[in-house]
Amino acid sequence: MDYSIAIATLKRTDSTLASLIEQVGECRLAQVQQSGDVLACIARSIIYQQLSGKAASTIYQRFLQLYPDQPFPTAINILETPDDVLRSAGISRSKAVYLKDLAQQVLNGLPTIAELTQMEDEAIIQTLLPIKGVGRWTVQMLLIFRLHRWDVLPVDDLGIRAGIRRTYQLPDLPTKSQVQQLGQPWQPYRTIAAWYLWRSLEQP
């Protein structure tokens, strides 16, 4: 994946972001791209919602261990798993409801990854929002990490807001509208900017 034009454009349009890009180095977004179908990708995002990465990863691994015979459970597997079994893996009551709703919607005919690939970002968001527990952020993670869309700025993401606060030396976390405004000049490469803002939190 060649990010050179995107990075050159971002550096030219935002000198503060340019300094961060120099500090972090090459963009390794391609190395963290996910595989899997719509069920696997959205289920993972649901489990990861509102948790630290480490806690989410532990719960996600326990969830996968409930289905030892396959890399990822099918929609029917999830629907047939008793709630208390899901809870034993650390999944909250509400997330168990969300996972089952997702599984049911997959059986009802959610678009496949191949079909989503043909759609515009906003159309994908509107298609997937009716799933319980799925907000814009969840779909944006799918857009970034599975569908390789380059112009997504998750304004609800705490890591992005913390990254902006640190990089731009703001006194407080920026509001969603401030993130939106700051990100305007980064189009059409807002995903790449977002990746660097996440990485900013790892810098000394």
Catalytically active residues are 157
DSSP code string of the chain = ---HHHHHHHHHH-HHHHHHHHHH-S--GGGG---S-HHHHHHHHHHHTTS-HHHHHHHHHHHHHTSTTSSS--HHHHHHS-HHHHHHTT--HHHHHHHHHHHHHHHHTPPPHHHHHTS-HHHHHHHHTTSTT--HHHHHHHHHHTS--S----TT-HHHHHHHHHHTT-SSPPPHHHHHHHHGGGTT-HHHHHHHHHHHTT--
